[in-house]
A and B are shown apart, each in its own frame.
Chain A
């Protein structure tokens, strides 16, 4: 029970937290406007020099292994709908960690997505 709870918290916080850190790293790079392969390669090299990117990748890896761990002790039909909450955690992180303006309309959209992802996973035969 406790192990499952730890895995669940790690999936939500480390997984989504990692993506938030990657987002923060990319915001320090600035908007990409040149999509030629060489320019994209340069952006990737620059991104890899931002500490937030490494923290993000580390957290995402932790979240991924926590998901594998959770799947080893709980059913898929429980794990994936439960992790749909990460969309709500992501919107909160966007607002408080990245300073994004999450409007009521965006919250409603996120709520629809959480319900939708839950139904899609529950509806699998």
Chain B
């Protein structure tokens, strides 16, 4: 392709359009930052757009001195790490044997796994099960019920299948058993795929809300999203019931809500750029070959 061709009108239009779209993705964050650093008076009198008005760090001081908030952050980090480990463990355990064509019953097992992607018991039977297993109001209740995604397992299985076979063969000749091959050969070669899927699991858990809403009623066990939901939805009902335009007395000020949103988003913003290259490549390989 003639990549040194001069920029023409179409290029300029496309660049403008894409820049516009990218800006729409960023503006909400700028506004959240502006809100969280503005005084509540300025917000209620509608002075804030993309720049803080009557600059103050009060909201962040409030959040950082709120022991419950810090506890929730720590708890959610621990939860996310444990969940990611559990998921990756099960995913690897399932994906590796299923790459072996010689394994008897492989197709049956695979079919039974894929079936669960398209049909399941639904929210309530799962809820009853979790309740019967005494997992409600436990950290395990947020880890075990979703501890493996068949979809991710298939991505990993595809990745394993693509690895050069002769490496495994030579290891087998050297007397390595299947477990040894998995740990010493297959896993070290699969780090990009493992990193990608770990990120997906971690993001799922970090962002997970529904199961926490269903299973957790004890405030000490609230993960970040549930806590954030409580903060944001406080008085929101009030506002919509009074109708637009009315400025009521806010128990949780908007600036604090914005700061809480930023507080829950920052971990993602910190991790995301570093892992981006990894996961794009990971998804691409999975997509092309799967």
The reply to whether chain A is a binding partner of chain B is no
Q: Which residues of chain A have a CB within 8 Å of any CB of chain B?
A: none
Q: Which residues of chain B have a CB within 8 Å of any CB of chain A?
A: none
